[in-house]
Every structure is written in C-alpha cells, then in structure tokens.
Amino acid sequence: MTEIRTDKAVKSSGLTRRTALKGLGAAAGLMMGPGFVRYSQAQSAEPIRIGFQCHRTGIGAAYGRWYERTTNAAVKLINEAGGINGRPLEIVVEDDGTDPKRGAEVVEKFANQHKVDLVYGTLFSHVVTGSAPAAGELKIPYYVVSEGYHVASGKLNRYCIQPGITDVKAQVRSVAPWIASNIGKKVTLVFPDYAFGHDHRDFFGPAFQEQGGEVVAMLPIPPTETSFTRYFPQIPPDTDAIYHVMVGPAVLTFVKEMGEFFGSQGPALFGFIDSLEAVDLASPGLEFLEGSHFWEGSPRYLQPDASEAQKFYRDAVGIDENGASVNDPKDVSTAAHMFGCWETLYVIKAAMEAADYKGPEDRAKLIEATEAMTEFAEGKEHPQGDKTFNGKIHQCFGHQNISLVENMKLKVVHRTSIEDGIYEPEADYMTMPL
C-alpha cells in the first residue's frame, strides 16, 4: 500500500529518483573538488588523520567509551610533543554499533569519504572479522586492539595488525601453567559461544594438558543468554576450578547465580576480567568472587609496585587508584584492555616515522615498517610493559597479570613472562602481496 502511494507521488511531481540522485551527485562533486585540490597541494601541513572505528553503541559501548578516552589522551600527548613527522594527529570517530556489517561499512566510509590515512581501534572480534576484508580490498591499514586470535591466525589479510595487545592464544598459554600448579588440575570451561569464546575453548585445553591438567567439561553459552542457573548442573562434581570468560551485560547475573547455586561449597574460580571490565567489583552480588582469581592485561587497581610509566599513563587517561574515572568513582574503566589503544597509537607513530610516511600512497611502506619491528621497550609509550612483535603474524606478545580478588579489589599475585605465551606462528602475512 505504501509503495503504491510513493509511486504516485513520484510520477505526479515528474521527478524520478534517478534525476534527483544525478543532481545531488553533481552538486556534491562541485563542492568536493576544490577542497580535494587544496588538500593534495598543501599535504605536508595537513594533519595525519586516523579513522577510529569505535563501539559507541551496542554491547561494546562501555569498552568504546574508554577506548575513546584513552585514544584522546594519547593523541593529545603526541600532538603536544610535535605530532608525527611534524604533522598533527587528528582522530575521526565513527560508531560501528559493535556490529560486523556496520563495521565493514565504517571502514569503507573512512577510506572513501573521510579519506583517512588508516583505520584503528576495534575491539570486538566479530567486528574485526567482519571489517577486515573491507580493509584488505581498500588497501587501508587496519590496526586493531581486539586480543582475538584472528589476526595472528593468518586468516585476515596483510593490512590487519595487532601491535598493542597480546592475543587470546598467548594469554591462555601464559596462565595455564599457573592454574595447573596453584588452583587445580580439573577444570570446567564456561565460555561465550562465538569467535572470542572459541579461541579460549580451542587453545586453553591443549595448553592445560601440557601442564598435566584436564578440561573435564565445556559449557558454551549463547551470547544473548540472560539466565545461567540452568547450566550449572552440567558442571561435573569433581571439578577443581571453573574457568569462566563471559562478555556482555549478563555477567553480574552469571556470578550471582553461581553464588546461589554453589554457596561456599563450590569449585575455585579463575576468570578473564573481560567479563567485569567497566563493572565495579563492589557491586551487589559479586561478593562471591572474593578469593577468586582473574587474568588482567593491565591491572585495574594501582599496584604498590607500579612503574612510573604506568602512573603517568593512568594520570593522562584520568583514572584513579581504583581504576575508575577521576571525575566519577562509579565510572569504572576497561583498564585490562584500553592500554592497547595507547600503545597501538605509539606503534603507529614509530612506524610512520620509520617509513617517512607522507600520505595514503605510503600505506604499503607503513605496513612494511610495522612488520619490521621486533621489540617495544617498557616506558611511557608502552606503560603495560615491554613486548615483542612478530611481523609474520602481525601480533605482539607481552606480560600477563594474574590477580586475586581481595576485599573486593584486584591484587596482582603473578606476572607471567613473555616467553610463557609464545607459540609457533601458523602464518606469514609477509608473503602476501601488498
């Protein structure tokens, strides 16, 4: 019915959609032209523009907000110190809605409309996987801060790089020995039933077996699940520890229901803080986590032995000693991941300087310069710690932290070595054409 009405309206006015589009296109062309010429003539004075694919809405919105704050803090410092190759850095933000389809559109928009130099900043693994082909086709560098194994697996393309945060495969390999010797040998895995959870499922088991441990049960949970009690009967009674990694707003329910189900008799817990990023550990219902352990990329709570670089970074981003915003103690950060944005921007800076980057025509040189990197030293540019970088799989490797929940705060009790997480590379992006 509605369609018929539209048809009539169009016919009666004598204006077809095609004519309208032609007119609009011509007008847009006229407006774009002079600007474009000016840009290419005065290139050296123009800022370097980075397209920030940000989870402003959707399930990743809490991460997105902190990724944006960290990015802005790092960009401010870089610009105050003279920018990159004498040019200021400018961030163009587009919201991807934490949605893979929208993610690919955003990459295209960055390349064709905003004409940025590169794209950066994505976290959620399904958005990275969905956007990567677009980045490859458009030959635009795509620096992600995602921690999924998809970059290192070699399944993406040569334009996708993850230089700021260790991938899940290396993370689980780093923590497996500690779990086997400190918590128990029989573990039940609880993980979200999609790419990110599957990385945990696929890599923890083998790494744990090498340490003499055994995964006694696996519980995949659909990502939209809101109630968990029904899954707990599947946890075998002889389980020493539950290894849980859940992402999404339902995690508080998960912990609370686990507490109700097991009471004080339950197995020990080892979790990935991903579940509780941006969530206050003092939230009602989380008391059950007291005494359990978590993986953290970078510690949320300021540790007594924190480095000067770490303190500098926390002050610049604006988080207090509890890892919450200095302006609002209830606004808890995603500290275990967002350092990756900071470090990635400094890697981009270093790579652009090494490649003497001038503009989009140097994108291939930028990729090659990044691939040539091998080590990042700890310091203000890398406050989480030193890292190694493998140019073949476009992935960095760093230290991981294991923290104990004590008085509803996280205390780092073990810091893994970089070697703990290293694995045999399964791919070589450098053999792919640019």
Partner 1 sequence: MAFGPYLLLATLEGLVMAAVLALTALGLSLVFGVMRVVNVAHGEFFMLGAVLAWWVSSLVSGNPAIGFLLALIVSPLIVGAVALVSERLVLRRLDYKPEATIVATIGLLYIIQQLVLTFYGPEARPVVAPFDFRIRLPWFGYSSYKLAVIAASILLVLATWFVLTRTKIGLVMRATQYDGEIAQAFGVPVDRVYAGVFALGAMLAAVAAVLIVPIQQAHYLMGLDPLLLSFIVVIIGGLGSLRGTVVAAVLIGLSDGIISVFFSPTLAKIIATSFVALVLVFRPQGLFGAETR
Q: How far is the CB of 288 from partner 1 (least distance, A)?
A: 11
**Using CB under 8 A, which of 260, 290, 315, 406 touches partner 1?**
260
Q: Which amino acid does the sequence have at 55?
A: H
CB of 221 to partner 1, least distance (A): 8
Return the number of the residue (35 or 284) whose C-beta is nearest partner 1. Answer: 284
Task: Please report where in the chains the tokens 């039940």 appear, as a residue.
Answer: 188
Least separation in angstroms between residue 278's CB and partner 1 is 6
Q: Return all residues near 27 (Cβ < 8 A) that are at least 6 apart.
A: none
Give the shortest CB-399-to-partner 1 separation in angstroms.
Answer: 29
The reply on whether position 257 binds partner 1 by CB under 8 A is yes
52 contacts 69 by C-beta, under 8 angstroms:
no
Q: Based on the shown chain and the rule CB under 8 A, indicate whether residue 2 belongs to the binding site for partner 1.
A: yes
How far apart, in whole angstroms, are the C-alpha atoms of residue 36 and residue 64? 31
Q: Which is nearer to partner 1, 201 or 256 (CB)?
A: 256
Nearer to partner 1, 78 or 278 (CB): 278
Expressed in percent and rounded to 5, the helix, strand and coil fractions of the chain are: 45, 20, 35
Q: Does 5 bind partner 1 (CB under 8 A)?
A: no
How many angstroms separate the CA atoms of 416 and 399, rounded?
5
How many Cα atoms occupy the beta-carbon half-sphere of 314 within 13 Å? Answer: 26
CB of 201 to partner 1, least distance (A): 16
Interaction residues for partner 1, span 267-286 (CB under 8 A) = 278-279, 283-285
Of 210-239, binders to partner 1 (CB under 8 A) are 222, 224-227, 229-230, 232-233
Burial of residue 24 (number of CB atoms within 10 Å: 0-12, 13-18, 19+): exposed
Q: How far is the CB of 332 from partner 1 (least distance, A)?
A: 8
Q: Among 138, 215, 216, 252, which residue interacts with partner 1 (rule: CB under 8 A)?
A: 252
Which residues ranging from 62 to 101 are in contact with partner 1 (CB under 8 A)? Answer: 62, 64-65
Q: Which of 249, 290, 291, 311 binds partner 1 (CB under 8 A)?
A: 249
What distance in Å separates the CA atoms of residue 369 and residue 34, rounded to the nearest whole number?
Answer: 33
Least gap, CB of 289 to partner 1 (angstroms): 14
Interatomic CA distance for residues 434 and 430, integer angstroms: 9
161 strand-pairing partners: 143
The H or E element containing residue 294 is strand 293-296
| CB 129, CB 53: distance < 8 Å | no
299 contributes a contact to partner 1 by CB under 8 A:
no
Question: Where do runs of H (alpha helix) occur along 110-244?
Answer: 125-138, 168-182, 195-210
Least CB distance from residue 47 to partner 1, whole Å? 29
Residue among 289 and 347 whose Cβ is closer to partner 1: 289
The pairing of strands 118-120 and 48-54 is parallel
Does the footprint of partner 1 cover residue 180 (CB under 8 A)?
A: no
CB closer to partner 1, 135 vs 278 = 278
**Contact between 195 and partner 1 (CB under 8 A)?**
no
End-to-end CA separation in angstroms for the chain: 51
Nearer CB in complex with partner 1: 61/350: 61
User: For the stretch 223-249, what's the b/e string if a residue is b when 16 or more beta carbons lie within 10 angstroms of its beta carbon?
Assistant: bebeebeebbeebeeebbbbbbbbbbe
- Verify binding: residue 1, partner 1, rule CB under 8 A: yes
CB of 237 to partner 1, least distance (A): 8
- Residue 131 C-beta: closest distance to partner 1, Å: 20
Question: For residues 96 and 381, which CB has a smaller minimum distance to partner 1 in the complex?
Answer: 96
Give Cα separations from 259 to 36, 121, 233 (angstroms).
61, 36, 13
Site of interaction with partner 1 (CB under 8 A): 1-2, 57-59, 61-62, 64-65, 222, 224-227, 229-230, 232-233, 249-253, 256-257, 259-263, 278-279, 283-285
